Chains A and B, each alone.
Chain A
Amino acid sequence: MVKPEEARALLRDYTYALDAGRLSEWPMFFSEKGLYRITTRQNLEQGYPLSIMLCDNRNMLYDRVEATEKANIYEPHYYRHILSDSQPMESKDGALCARTSFICVRTMLDGSTILFTSGEYLDEVVREQGVVRFRSKTVVLDQSRIDTLIAIPL
């Protein structure tokens, strides 16, 4: 069983990797059949299944990384994630489940900074071959309206 402090360390390393721009590390934070999705609070509340981003295995995560790094064109920018304490939720199939609030600040290279998004992570964390990883990570944005685009995962 995963300990809460191990899940917390995973979350810490995950957001530092994104904020440092080490996107190539992103897929390995997930188990091979890991699920990553970004959705909005309004879609969840209305029972709509749509995601803003949806990957349901590690290969899809790698495809997204490759698209972001090699195909998609966007103005370069930095993220800065700030996390709250995590709240444990009922464990599921051997996974440790927790929710964590976040805000993400986005800074463009011209120096302009905005509060880009806020929301919560709904995480399921498992141990696989001794390594702690996300089996599932759902990013629920408070906002239904996104400023311009989301190129880099949250």
Chain B
Amino acid sequence: MKQATPIWSEEGATHTPYAVYSDPQIYELEQRSIFRGPTWHFLGLEQQIPEAGSFVLAQVGDTPVILVRDEAGEVHGLVNRCAHKGTPLVFVPSGKLARQRLMCIYHNWMYDLRGNLKSVAFEKGVGGKGGMPPEFRKEDHSLTRLRLHRICGLVFGTFHPDTPPFEDYIGAEHVANIRRVCGKPIEVLGTYSQLLHSNWKLYMENVKDPYHASILHAFNGLMKQDRLTMEGGIQMGTGGWHHISYSRMTVDSGDELYKTAPTLRSSELSAYGEGLRDPSFTDVWDDHGDRVSLTVQTVFPCFVLQQLRNCLAMRAVVPKGPRQTELRWIAFGYQDDDERRRELRLKQANMMGPAGLISMEDGMVGALIQRSIEADGDKSSVMILGGRGLEPIPGSRASEGSVRGFWTGYRHLTGL
């Protein structure tokens, strides 16, 4: 691989040159060194592909991927592209294949569900004329396969032979949180996505940044859900590339602090006066028996697992060129939810997604930044809240360490 020219002016990740959010060459470099590099990517849920032949489409950066279950119940991740002319083998987001085969519509090249090419139309020609040359070997034309890791129904994939095993890649604490949130059988409640007019990294920085949560999202203050004064913290995962931000529900001593220190509070409190008229929305319970009311977890580079009280979701962040990003949501509950819990989860889903009371700003703020930085690629952001390093501050989330962690992984892989 061609060595990239560093564009950071110093070691570390306390600032980010704005060029990384719009330069098309850097975008191409990311596709090679990050998305095709030694990283793990969320592809889908086993619950989405319950039967042999069930499939769901995914994206690893710009590369289209099919996640499919075979006759033996095994799950495979394959590049969604016929080896002949590059035609996508599947072009609806999810479904079930007929006859347990991936058949290309264009020239009927046919693959089994492990991606092996099994037949091509007119291989022997017609009437003994034409056809493939004698040296044509079907085994040379299989679909590109991803190496997969399955955990609690989540399926991750990687293209690179040197990607560490998933559990080493994210670290034991992070594996434990996936097991905590997804450890009992989950039920998909629905999906949707947002088109964001910003670079994918502006969204990932936003997710990893606990600094903004109680400021940009005034609704959080009302929910008393995610103030930096709540008991909570950050866990960084292997190499600091990943993160978990968490807070606990019962020990919010924030009221006093927020009232007496105006710089700490957002527009939240006075705006509402008496609070919510409808209390059912805040009817919450302790799903995991640990009082942890909020966890936002990222797996570098592009996966988010969210627990906002009882509002549970996965998010996959898909770059769409340097200036656009698709944010794909999967909302879920648990198969053993009773009717009441299921209804309350669906109500709490008002917090998330494109109309989310505490998420709609995240879809917009990146686009505002994108527009304002375009003219000055050589200038930089500054991120030194909580110091310059990655080490979490015990019991505190008043730090941008997790954002610096993202850029540490980014610089390591891209060489920038």
Measured CB to CB, the residues of A under 8 A from B are: 38-40, 42-43, 46, 48-57, 59-60, 62-64, 66-67, 70-75, 144-151
Contact = CB atoms under 8 A, between A and B. Distances in A.
A43 B192 contact: yes
B190 A48 contact: yes
A16 B278 CA distance: 27
Given A59-B278, A71-B268, A73-B361, A149 B194 contact: yes
Contact of B195 (A71, A75, A146, A150): A146
B271 A49 contact: no
B154 to A, nearest CB: 18
Nearest to A47: B190
A72 B219 CA distance: 7
Interface string B329-363: 00100000000001000110110011101001101
A59 B368 CA distance: 33
Nearest to A145: B193
B384 interface: no
Contact of B355 (A43, A57, A63, A150): A150
A52 B192 contact: yes
A55 B354 CA distance: 15
Q: How large is the interface on B (under 10, 10 to 19, 20 to 34, 35 or more residues)?
A: 35 or more
A71 B350 contact: no
12 contacts: A38-B355, A40-B192, A50-B191, A50-B192, A60-B280, A66-B272, A70-B218, A73-B216, A73-B364, A148-B197, A148-B367, A151-B360
B188 interface: yes
Interface of B: 93-94, 188-197, 216, 218-219, 222, 267-268, 271-272, 276-278, 280-281, 326, 331, 342, 346-347, 349-350, 353-355, 357, 360-361, 363-364, 367-368
Nearest to B342: A49
B55 to A, nearest CB: 14
Nearest to B362: A149
Contact of B360 (A38, A40, A147, A150): A150
Nearest to A75: B364
Given A40-B192, A60-B281, A146-B194, A71 B222 contact: yes
A149 B354 contact: yes
Given A51-B350, A149-B194, 13 more contacts: A50-B189, A60-B277, A60-B278, A72-B357, A72-B360, A73-B216, A75-B364, A75-B368, A144-B193, A145-B192, A149-B360, A149-B363, A151-B355
Contacts of A147: 194-195
Contacts of B363: 148-149
Contacts of B347: 54, 56
A43 B349 CA distance: 14
Contact of B278 (A63, A73, A145): A63
A149 B355 contact: yes
Contact of B194 (A72, A74, A148, A151): A148
